[in-house]
Amino acid sequence: MNKREKRYAVIDFGTNSIRMLVADFWGEGQVKPVYQDLRITRLGRGVSKNKKILPEAINDTLTVVRDFVLKAHGLGAEQIYAVATSAVRDAENREEFRKRVYEQTGLKLNIISGEKEAELTYLGVQSILEQAMEVLVVDIGGGSTEFIWKTPSGDIKYVSLDLGAVRMTEDFLVAEQPAEEQFVIMQERIRTLLERGILDLMEDFSPRVILGVGGTITTLAAIDQRLEVYRPEKVHGYRLSFQKIQEILALLKATPLQQRKMIPGLQPGRADIIVAGTAILSEIMSLMQVNQLIVSEYDLLHGSILYFSSKTDKLN
């Protein structure tokens, strides 16, 4: 029987939420979660427009990260790693933010590229990928969307697009109940970015199913099951059809924001960006002509633990 090698914690500084995974690494690629948490701080609010992380977003995020670090130490994590994605890498004040994180938490923040984000996500979902062929892995975040797939020759390809739920909401859906015209304009923008970004690169690949990760996709699985309390074991491996995603999108669009916050399975802090996130997923599935989505709880956090367990260098 394998023996536990080390207990790690990884904190992900996302555009919309700050997440932490504490897990044991048992060797041979086995990661066993011990504790998970997520807090919505909207770190990336305004970054798309202002190119800077706002002071209030920094303060809100640091408050959460300090709590996470204490919790990780209390659970016996021997090492704590921190990774930052789209919002931080796009911000002009990212080095100032990195310094603040270190001064207040002691964490050395790894600001990773979109390609590295995709690579780590792929590492995290491999347990499902082993059982499914011709899969397109899609990670819809707050600021960007990553695509990962394996070519017929066995090569892994990664594409990262500046296409995220927070970014699209701030650019197109700022009103609590946006007009249909604004939604259509956003759809057209999403479609244009996708056509420019992935069609040429995927000429040799026709996925039969999408394996989806990230808050938008896990939330859709929770909404479809009407989960009053989020349960990862109910979400992981859940299957959603393209038709069901279209039905949920229609419901979300038609529901005013304050009522939307009460939909079972939807965190109130995600209610304002879920329409944009679902629209991104809908356009991806339409463009790729894929009728089914498999939801994965394993993602960047799990992949980061696998990466750090075998590397001594930083990610950036």
CATH number for the domain harbouring residue 236: 3.30.420.150
Q: What is the 3-state secondary structure (H, E, C) of 109-173?
A: EEECCHHHHHHHHHHHHHHHHCCCCCEEEEEECCCCEEEEEECCCCCEEEEEECCCHHHHHHHHC
Do both 262 and 145 map to the same domain? Answer: yes
Between 144-153, 157-166, 177-186, 283-292, the lowest mean confidence (pLDDT) is in: 144-153
CATH number at residue 15: 3.30.420.40
Q: What percent of the chain has pLDDT over 90?
A: 73
* Mean pLDDT in residue range 182-211: 87
Do both 190 and 98 map to the same domain? Answer: no
Do both 38 and 182 map to the same domain? Answer: no
Q: Is residue 314 part of a domain?
A: no
Do both 143 and 12 map to the same domain? Answer: no
Work out the number of other CB atoms within 10 angstroms of the CB of residue 75.
Answer: 12
| Residue 138, phi then psi, degrees to nearest 5 | -125, 125
Do both 164 and 290 map to the same domain? Answer: yes
Between 2-6, 79-83, 252-256, the lowest mean confidence (pLDDT) is in: 2-6
Q: Is residue 132 part of a domain?
A: yes
Q: Is residue 1 part of a domain?
A: no
Q: Is residue 105 part of a domain?
A: yes
Q: Which residue in 240, 233, 165, 187 sits closest to 209, CA to CA?
A: 240
Do both 170 and 62 map to the same domain? Answer: no
**Helix H segments across the chain?**
47-50, 55-74, 86-90, 94-105, 114-129, 165-172, 180-197, 215-224, 232-235, 242-254, 257-260, 274-288, 300-308
Q: Is residue 245 part of a domain?
A: yes
Distance CA(301)–CA(124), nearest Å, equals: 7
Q: Exposed (0-12), middle (13-18) or buried (19+): which is 203, by Cβ within 10 Å?
A: exposed
Q: Is residue 193 part of a domain?
A: yes
| Contact call for residues 175 and 182 (beta carbons, < 8 A) | yes
Do both 219 and 131 map to the same domain? Answer: yes
Do both 78 and 127 map to the same domain? Answer: no
Q: Is residue 233 part of a domain?
A: yes
Q: How many structural domains are present in the chain?
A: 2
Work out the number of other CB atoms within 10 angstroms of the CB of residue 70.
Answer: 11
Q: Is residue 313 part of a domain?
A: no
pLDDT of residue 3: 62
Work out the number of other CB atoms within 10 angstroms of the CB of residue 231.
Answer: 11
Question: What's the domain range around 73?
Answer: 6-112+300-308
Do both 198 and 107 map to the same domain? Answer: no
Instruction: Check whether 87 has a pLDDT greater than 70.
Output: yes
CA 1 to the chain's CA centroid: 33
- What are the angstrom distances between the C-alpha of 167 and each of 10, 30, 73, 173, 194? 25, 34, 34, 10, 15
Work out the number of other CB atoms within 10 angstroms of the CB of residue 169.
Answer: 22
The kind and range of the H/E element at 31 are strand 31-40
Q: Which residue in 163, 197, 195 sits closest to 273, CA to CA?
A: 163
Do both 159 and 278 map to the same domain? Answer: yes
| Contact call for residues 172 and 188 (beta carbons, < 8 A) | no
Identify the band that residue 1 occupies on the pLDDT scale cut at 50, 70 and 90: very low
Do both 67 and 13 map to the same domain? Answer: yes
Instruction: Check whether 79 has a pLDDT greater than 90.
Output: yes
| DSSP structural state of residue 229 | S
In tens, the pLDDT along 14-49 reads: 999 999 999 999 877 788 999 999 999 999 999 988
pLDDT of residue 2: 57
pLDDT of residue 150: 77
pLDDT of residue 114: 85
Do both 178 and 281 map to the same domain? Answer: yes
